[in-house]
């Protein structure tokens, strides 16, 4: 496991140094931003130094277990929605699971239904914003994240995601303000520091 962690850390260091097989560093960072986060998280998990994760990586589910769990979530929340079609939380959970499994359109639809059921809940706005950004609809995603922040000015994850998206669209000054605000809200979030440094 330590060898795998070492490989992830080496990959991450190469990304940070910009030694990416002849590709433009800035373009590569914008296109693969989420991959960098994944590399760091994998390295930290493999080293078992993520807060809240105790012991070895045996507690980290395999990709197959994770997929099975997300599919169970979709099945269970679909049953809940069939019984109670105004259960906003079920739509949010199912939308999250669909997004994680790559059904981005289905995720957007579920989060949109949750927003229609409770327009004052910032969570489905945040989730839909993140999914829209993943789909390449950055402006729509930024609008959803902005609405989530208006509803909850302490929504650190929304500031973080909006800051990254703004930087990817070229509005880096505004993006850095959002990333700085994310750090102010939660100074222990290393991802906010890493994002601001990139």
Query: For residues 88 and 75, what is the distance between their CA atoms, to the nearest angstrom?
Result: 16
How far is CA 141 from its chain centroid? 12
What average pLDDT does this structure show over 47-51? 44
198 — pLDDT class (breaks 50, 70, 90):
low
Q: Give residue-wise pLDDT tens across range 136-160.
A: 999 999 999 999 999 999 999 999 9
Contacts of residue 124, defined as CB under 8 A and 6 or more positions apart, other chains included, come to 88, 91, 92, 95, 111, 112, 114, 115, 118
Q: What is the mean pLDDT of the chain?
A: 79
CA angle 136, 193, 41 (to 5 degrees): 70
pLDDT band, residue 2 (cuts 50/70/90): very low
pLDDT for the residue 43: 53
Residue 180 predicted with pLDDT over 60: yes
> To the nearest whole percent, how much of the chain has pLDDT over 90?
56
Q: Which residue has the higher pLDDT, 20 or 151?
A: 151
> What pLDDT score does 65 carry?
87
Look at residue 32 in the predicted model and tell me its pLDDT.
45
Q: What is the DSSP string of 141-193?
A: HHHHHHHHHHH-TT-HHHHHHHHHHHHHTT-HHHHHHHHHHHHHH-TT-HHHH
> Of 72, 71, 74, which Cα lies nearest the Cα of 91?
74
Cβ atoms of residues 166 and 146 within 8 Å: no
**154: Cα separation from own chain's centroid:** 17
The reported pLDDT for the residue numbered 55 is: 44
Q: Are 154 and 181 in contact (CB under 8 A)?
A: no
Structure confidence at residue 59 (pLDDT): 57
Q: What average pLDDT score do residues 79-85 get?
A: 95
Residue 23 confidence (pLDDT): 45
pLDDT value, residue 129: 97
Assign 19 a pLDDT band (cuts: 50, 70, 90): very low
Higher pLDDT, 48 or 114: 114
Identify how many contiguous H helices and E strands the chain contains and give both numbers: 11, 0
pLDDT bucket at 34, cuts 50 / 70 / 90:
very low
């Amino acid at each position: 496991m330590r060898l795998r962690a070492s490989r992830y850390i080496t990959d991450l260091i190469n990304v940070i140094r910009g030694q990416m097989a002849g590709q433009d560093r800035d373009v590569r960072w914008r296109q693969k931003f989420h991959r960098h986060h994944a590399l760091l998280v994998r390295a930290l998990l493999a080293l078992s130094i993520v807060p809240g994760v105790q012991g070895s990586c045996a507690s980290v589910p395999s990709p197959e277990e994770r997929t099975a769990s997300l599919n169970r979530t979709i099945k269970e929340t679909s049953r809940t929605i069939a019984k109670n079609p105004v259960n906003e939380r079920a739509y949010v959970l199912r939308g999250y699971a669909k997004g994680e499994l790559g059904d981005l359109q289905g995720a957007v639809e579920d989060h949109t239904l949750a927003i229609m059921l409770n327009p004052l809940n910032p969570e489905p706005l945040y989730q839909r914003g993140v999914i829209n950004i993943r789909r390449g609809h950055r402006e729509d995603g930024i609008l959803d994240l902005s609405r989530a922040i208006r509803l909850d000015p302490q929504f650190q994850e929304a500031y973080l995601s909006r800051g990254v998206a703004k930087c990817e669209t070229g509005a880096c000054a505004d993006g850095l303000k959002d990333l700085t605000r994310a750090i102010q809200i939660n100074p222990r979030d290393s991802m906010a520091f890493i994002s601001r440094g990139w």
